[in-house]
A and B are shown apart, each in its own frame.
Chain A
């Protein structure tokens, strides 16, 4: 069975600075996908970034980037130039290839961006 661990229940960062959220996972699969989702106080779950395990290049979406270390089973999220609107819960999630969307979530990291 796959598990996803987010070891930082809460983090804070000053506006305009950079913050990194940690995520590790455990799997025996070789082909899978990893995601970061954001959940602001509005409760909506929003996809932030997606990474295919077979790609060595780290995914990037504007101010959001990941550091994917397949051998270490690590998938951290870096947020650059943090903005107040980045305040949210962040969830790391794992999807086995062929599972058609069955996501395994971590327990989340609560990020607060301070002015």
Chain B
């Protein structure tokens, strides 16, 4: 079934550790995104990539990095996790060429930093 796969589903991580959240899509979408969802704050954009080889910063990029080596994969890395990064992380993609293309979301990764 075409869509977005995120891994892991959930993770408990000690503060200071490095962590990479994986995201893979098989829809050949140009654009990909990482959002974090926090209670009472909704979803906020961390980083995005309009096409393979390019990335950009969203609303809350500090403490996170991304890469886009190919069309399908868009990993999100926390170099040194802190408790405030406890959140649910969603990867999303869109066709990116048609105006107003809706985003398709993965099922999220619940990350707890202790």
Contact = CB atoms under 8 A, between A and B. Distances in A.
A43 B42 contact: no
Nearest to B41: A107
Interface string B101-112: 111110110000
B99 A101 contact: no
B107 A44 contact: yes
19 contacts: A42-B107, A44-B107, A45-B103, A46-B105, A47-B102, A47-B103, A52-B100, A91-B42, A100-B96, A101-B92, A101-B96, A101-B103, A102-B48, A102-B58, A103-B33, A103-B43, A103-B45, A105-B44, A107-B41
B31 interface: yes
Interface residues of B, number: 26
Given A37-B105, A50-B102, A101-B101, 20 more contacts: A43-B88, A44-B108, A45-B43, A45-B92, A46-B105, A47-B103, A50-B100, A97-B100, A98-B99, A100-B50, A100-B101, A101-B92, A101-B94, A102-B33, A102-B45, A103-B103, A105-B44, A107-B40, A107-B41, A107-B42
Q: How large is the interface on A (under 10, 10 to 19, 20 to 34, 35 or more residues)?
A: 20 to 34
B105 A100 contact: no
B74 interface: no
